[in-house]
Amino acid sequence: MIADSWLKASQATAEFQADVRAYADFRDASRIVILRAAPRVKVLRVITQLVATHPDLVVDRVRIEGISGCADYRGTVVAEIVHDKPRTFAFVWDCAWKAAREGWVDSRGSPDQVRAAREFGWQCFSVWNDVSVREGGDELIGAKPGA
């Protein structure tokens, strides 16, 4: 499974880790909420990116809203964190972008997205940005325009 070694190395809860494994095995996984239909492998790539790049987060559940194209999957993932505020990440997984970056082309002269997806798997993220709401900003609530 894509995420397994990264899951083991992360601080994600045991319940979340169990649900990721269940999801990968096409079983119920209540801690993984997908708001738009997407290929399971693309969802698992997002989860792998989350736990691999943020192993210190105590992730307990995720909610993913994304749009899946032929060569890409883009959207947001909201990770519910134990004893902390949720974290939101904007993402673009794009194997055509990765192929172009590697200089790989197929027989038609297009970026060889199939090769990139096969060789890089989950590591084709062109965008992974933390867009979480941060502390502060309360002074703006109720502010009048032009003030």
The pLDDT tens digits for 36-54 are 999 999 999 999 999 999 9
Please tell me the distance from the alpha carbon of residue 67 to that of residue 87, in angstroms, as a whole number. Answer: 20
Q: Tell me the mean pLDDT in the region 76-93.
A: 97
Q: What's the predicted TM-score (pTM) here?
A: 0.88
In this prediction, residue 3 carries a pLDDT of 73
- Give the strand pairing for 59-68 and 32-34: parallel
